[in-house]
Chains A and B, each alone.
Chain A
C-alpha cells in the first residue's frame, strides 16, 4: 500500500532559466518567402549589428516558425533577453526592404505563450 501523500510546498523565485518570446515579422511590401533558417539568420545579423560579434555570441532557439504568417517563438537565456529584444526592436531592413519585428508576448513560462487573453476577439474574427 502506498503511503498517503504528505503535503509539500516549494516556492521558486526567478528559477526559470529561459525567457520565451512570440514575435512576428512585418515586411513593408507584404510577405516574402523566408525559410526558418533565414529568419533566424536575420535575427543573428541584427544582434551582431547592435552588439558586435562578442556581444551577440549567446545562443537562442527558434522553437517554432510559421512560414505563412512569418511568426516565431524564440527561447533565450535570461541574460540575453534584453539584448535580443533590443536587437529585434532596432532591426529595420531585410534584403533592402523595410521591415519590423513585432513582439507579441514575452514570458518566463513557455506555457503562458499558449494562453494570451489579449487575443480574445469577437465579431467577424474567430476566437481561437
Chain B
C-alpha cells in the first residue's frame, strides 16, 4: 500500500500549566487574544444545578448582531471609527463566508481589519497585502491587514482616502456581518444600535442550554501531572473524553464490541451526576473572561469535584486564531481552547489547532 495513503493533516496541541494567582500567568492574555468565539461549554462534575452566580454571568453576555449586506468600507467611515473601532471591545466577522473558498473579513478589538481575499478580489481591489501562509504551489489567497488605529489611516490622510476609495468605488465588497461589542459603561449601549439602524439587522442573545448527566465515568486529574504520566490521564485522551461528553457518546463499550471500543480514559472514577451547559453565538473574549473568573470562584466553598472545565470553540472560518496569527481551513478549521480549573487555583490550558494554523501563543 502506498505510504501516501497513510498521511494525515498536522495538528497542534499546546498544554500549559500554571496558577491563576501567579503574577506571570498568561490566562488573561490567551483569552483576550482569541477574538472570535462561537461556542462555550462548561462541565461541572458532581453538580446537578447550575450555580446562580454562573447562570447570571451567562445570561448577561452581550448580545450580538447579524447585519445583512454591509459594505466593508463602512467599517472605515468616521461614524464607525471613532465610537466603535478606536474605543476597542468591538468585534466584527463576515458571516457565511468560507475561509477556504470565499473572501472573509474580520475586525479585531485592537482595530486591525483583516481581509482574507482570493486572487481575483485581491488584484482588483489593489490594496497592499501579502500571500497567505497556507498557499499550496500557486498563491491563490492573499491577506490584507489594515491597522485602523494607525496614524497613516486617520481620516483625511492620503492612504486613508486610497483605501476608502478602493473599498467604496473600485470594488465595493458587501457581506453579512456578525457584530458584538462588550459594554464597559452604560452610555455606550445605544451607539451600535443607532449606527446599525440604517441597515437590515437582527439582534440575538447567545443561545444557552444545559443538561444534567447521570452516573458517568470521569477521568481523574491531578494538577501536578498535566502530561498524564502517573496520576492523571493523558491530555489527548482527556480532550477526547470531553468531546464524548459534549456529543453524548457512550463511554462504556466492551473491548470486543463490533460498533465501538471507546472507553473513558484511565485513571477514572464514577460520578453520580455532572452538569454540562453550552452557550452558542458570537461571543466576545471579555465575556469569556468574566465567566472564567466566576468559575474560579466555584471552589470558594467546599465541593465534591476537584476540577471543572471550560471549553471555548473558535470560528472555523475566521481569518485569525489567536491575535493576528493567520488561520486557515484545510480538512478542518478547529481552533479551540480548554481550561481545567482546580481547587487550589491551579489551572491547565489546552489550546488545539489544525493544519493551517500558527502555534498557539
Contact = CB atoms under 8 A, between A and B. Distances in A.
Interface of A: 2, 4-20, 36-37, 40, 51, 55, 59, 61-65, 73, 75, 78-83, 105-118, 120, 122, 126-128
B310 to A, nearest CB: 12
Contacts of B262: 61, 63, 75
B7 interface: yes
Contact of B41 (A14, A82, A105, A114): A114
Contact of A111 (B1, B16, B258, B336): B336
Interface in B33-66: 38-39, 41, 66
B203 to A, nearest CB: 11
13 contacts: A7-B22, A9-B16, A13-B11, A13-B12, A15-B11, A37-B259, A64-B248, A64-B250, A79-B8, A83-B5, A111-B246, A114-B39, A115-B313
B243 A62 contact: no
**Which of B224, B239, B243, B244 has the largest number of chain A CB atoms within 10 A?**
B243
Nearest to B314: A117
A86 to B, nearest CB: 8
Interface of B: 1, 4-19, 21-22, 24-25, 38-39, 41, 66, 95, 98, 202, 204, 207, 209, 223-224, 226-227, 235-236, 239-240, 242-244, 246-250, 258-262, 280-281, 311, 313-317, 331-334, 336, 338, 344, 346, 352, 354, 359
Given A114-B243, A128-B280, A82 B17 contact: no
Contact of A118 (B244, B261, B316): B316
Given A108-B354, A122-B202, A5 B240 contact: no
A5 B223 contact: yes
A38 B237 CA distance: 28
Contacts of A108: 8-9, 11, 332, 354
B331 A106 contact: yes
A20 B246 CA distance: 14
Contacts of A65: 259
Contacts of B359: 11
A112 B332 contact: yes
B66 to A, nearest CB: 6
Contact of A19 (B8, B19, B258, B313): B8
Given A5-B19, A63-B260, A117-B316, A109 B243 contact: yes
Given A115-B39, A117-B316, A16 B243 contact: no
A35 B101 CA distance: 36
Contacts of A110: 239-240, 242-244, 247, 249
A111 B243 contact: yes
A55 B332 contact: no
A115 B336 contact: yes
A120 B38 contact: yes
A32 B311 CA distance: 36
A59 B260 CA distance: 10
A19 B331 CA distance: 11
Contacts of A122: 66, 202, 204
